[in-house]
Chain A
Amino acid sequence: MGPFILRRIVYSVAVVAGVSVFVFLITHMLGDPARMMLPLESSDAEVEAFRQSMGFNDPIYVQFWRFATNAVRGDFGDSLWQREPAMGLVMERLPKTLQLVAISTFLAVIISIPLGVLAALKPRSALDRVCTVSSLVGVSLPDFWLGLILILVFAVQFHLFYTSGYGTWKHLVLPSLTLAARPIGQITLITRSAMIDELSQQYMVTARSKGLAERVVVMRHALRNALIPIVTLSAWQIARLISGLTVAVETVFAWPGVGLLAIQAIQRRDLPLIQADVFVVAVVVTLVNLVLDVLYGLFDPRIRYD
């Protein structure tokens, strides 16, 4: 297990480095960063002066070395928009995104696992049909649009929650529900299919013939074995939410997380802030994947790493 974790950490560092290099390359090779960051009406002299002051005239490898050595220390330069270190701005926003992701994942898990189990217990029943179809609907809804519709109904029409912003639990309800829609659908579907698999196994007959209560058979025996795909998918959903699905939802609800910050940075063409934002998101996603891989080995003794 030890060597595996070590190798996995080395790999994670490589992934984060890869993402950072990629973002550096696309922002420096695909266009002129100076022209991009300055207002459109800037004169050529202004652009040239800015280019000089930012070091964009240096050879690309010199720029890259400077970027890399600073990035290792978490320094991506000052945000052009806020005039303070970009990294600090991102770290300030990160907990708010994590809060949103944690709550919607929690919602998704407590709603969809019972639904999936119930559907699997009576396949082809009316309840099963309703669960399956509504899961597919949840997966198919564009999340930003669902957010807007929830705002229209619950904030504008009934004044139950706030339309946008950050602060109380009333701000939290609509964005976390919006973000939870797709995970709810997917986790329900996978729970249902994993449970149908387990319920048709031979050990279910053994458990029943031992005279165990049906509740024990379903919850202790079947569900516990079905948990591996469910946990995998849920964790994958967390990584996906952090890695960008929150962007549109945070924009709709003006939720001050890293997703909204990314859009603000992009709209203001704030290169250091874009780089810092992508870097932090990549680190968090990689960490989630790392923790998950290590936990597998602990949870499921059948999984061996070598």
Chain B
Amino acid sequence: MAIETEMAATRALSPLERYPLLRRAVGVFNQLMRDKVALAAAIFLLLLLVATVFAPAVAPHDPTEQDLAHRLWPPAWAKEGTRDHLLGTDQLGRDILSRVIYGSRVSLIVGVAVIVVAGVVGTVVGLVAGYYGGRVDNILMRIVDLQTAFPGLLVALAIITMIGPSVTNIIIVLSINGWMVFARMIRGTTLALRGSLFVDAARCLGMSDSRIIFRHMLPNLASPLITLATLELARIILAEAVLSFLGMGIQPPASSWGLMINEGHAYMTMAWWLVTFPGIAIALTVLCVNLVATWLRAISDPMQRMKQFGPRMR
């Protein structure tokens, strides 16, 4: 009888009640609907993602198609502009809008790849250092300290000089540069978690260290990790742009926003649109990522929420 009632109760559960993860996702979504600025930023990033994936369908022209008869055409709203090239053309007559759309691919691929590599390495190091403590912790954290004192960009440039610029190498160099931010944060949080009851309980049940670390502690680190990853994404998109602008990143004929600014630099005084639009693309993307990160931090931490929006009553 009791079993029957239980089964009846199970049947009565809505999908939301049955899947806690789904419930959480819906909760986050509802909160996003309430914050208009964050919502706008998220929608922009979503549109950008769609444009990046479906670039061939979205872009009006082939980004490498040269049209020497129509070099340095201004944007459509200028006096000599045409509707055919909404944001104008560059020094080789290539369509700027199409190049900006295709350029987003490099920024997003490099950004996401570095987050994954640096995030996984940093998280594992941080978990191990924080969980075991003692000598392991000491050695790992000294390495992290040492790298923090590194002149990061200069060392990155020196490495790229030796191994040559390419998308893979940029991902490697920026990951070397970025893992310790994750390691430091995760270590701190793990240290705090290590003493909590559920970890003691798991240990009493005889669980292995790796099971405790990855199945019990890691899920508790998810929300600070997601926030940090978002913040880092903004930083890495900027770093890729700087490397490409300095000529040490993406190489022609491939293109990225930073490289477009580098190439347009020489023609800047006669054709302002060459450097302006790719720069706006970088700035908008990074701004939206930062807005989403700020919002994520606010919803995951009530103290931050108060600081973000100010105390409700004064």
A117 and B241 CA atoms in complex are apart in Å by: 33
A200 and B245 CA atoms in complex are apart in Å by: 45
Instruction: Flag whether B229 is at the interface (Cβ < 8 A).
Output: no
Chain A residues within 8 Å of B189, by CB: none
Give the interface size class of chain B.
Answer: 35 or more
Question: Which of A193, A242, A243 has the most chain B CB atoms inside 10 A of its CB?
Answer: A243
Given A140-B283, A148-B265, A274 and B161 touching (CB < 8 A)? yes
Question: Which of B146, B161, B246 has the most chain A CB atoms inside 10 A of its CB?
Answer: B161
Whether B159 and A30, one on each chain, are in contact in the complex, defined by CB atoms closer than 8 angstroms, is yes
Whether A144 and B152, one on each chain, are in contact in the complex, defined by CB atoms closer than 8 angstroms, is no
Chain B residues within 8 Å of A251, by CB: 246
Whether A278 and B291, one on each chain, are in contact in the complex, defined by CB atoms closer than 8 angstroms, is no
Whether A31 and B163, one on each chain, are in contact in the complex, defined by CB atoms closer than 8 angstroms, is yes
Given A123-B311, A266-B248, A245 and B153 touching (CB < 8 A)? yes
For residue B234, give the distance in angstroms from its CB to the closest CB of chain A: 7
Whether B246 and A285, one on each chain, are in contact in the complex, defined by CB atoms closer than 8 angstroms, is no
Chain B residues within 8 Å of A14, by CB: 146
Instruction: Flag whether A228 is at the interface (Cβ < 8 A).
Output: no
A65 and B125 CA atoms in complex are apart in Å by: 32
A145 and B291 CA atoms in complex are apart in Å by: 20
A22 and B294 CA atoms in complex are apart in Å by: 35
Chain B residues within 8 Å of A139, by CB: 290
Whether A142 and B279, one on each chain, are in contact in the complex, defined by CB atoms closer than 8 angstroms, is yes
Complex interface: stretch among B43-51, B192-200, B302-310:
B302-310
Whether B162 and A23, one on each chain, are in contact in the complex, defined by CB atoms closer than 8 angstroms, is no
Whether B246 and A263, one on each chain, are in contact in the complex, defined by CB atoms closer than 8 angstroms, is yes
Among A156, A278, A289, the residue within 8 A (CB) of B158 is A278
- Bitwise interface map of A from 242 to 273 toward B, beta carbon under 8 Å scored 1, else 0: 11110110010000000000110011010000
A35 and B47 CA atoms in complex are apart in Å by: 46
Whether B310 and A124, one on each chain, are in contact in the complex, defined by CB atoms closer than 8 angstroms, is yes
Given A27-B162, A144-B245, A144-B261, A15 and B279 touching (CB < 8 A)? no
Whether B162 and A31, one on each chain, are in contact in the complex, defined by CB atoms closer than 8 angstroms, is yes
For residue B227, give the distance in angstroms from its CB to the closest CB of chain A: 15
Give the contacts of A127-151 with B (CB-CB under 8 A): 128, 133, 136-137, 139-146, 148-149, 151
Whether A36 and B151, one on each chain, are in contact in the complex, defined by CB atoms closer than 8 angstroms, is no
> What residue in chain A is nearest B270 (Cβ atoms)?
A156
A213 and B311 CA atoms in complex are apart in Å by: 23
Instruction: Flag whether A86 is at the interface (Cβ < 8 A).
Output: no
28 contacts between A and B (CB under 8 A): A15-B146, A19-B149, A26-B159, A26-B162, A27-B162, A123-B310, A123-B314, A128-B310, A136-B290, A136-B294, A140-B234, A142-B241, A142-B242, A142-B261, A142-B279, A144-B261, A149-B276, A196-B311, A243-B151, A243-B152, A243-B154, A244-B151, A244-B152, A247-B157, A262-B154, A262-B157, A282-B150, A285-B149
Q: A19-B149, A141-B283, A156-B269 are in contact. List 11 more A-B contacts (CB 8 A).
A: A26-B155, A31-B162, A123-B311, A133-B37, A142-B238, A142-B279, A145-B279, A152-B275, A196-B311, A243-B150, A248-B245
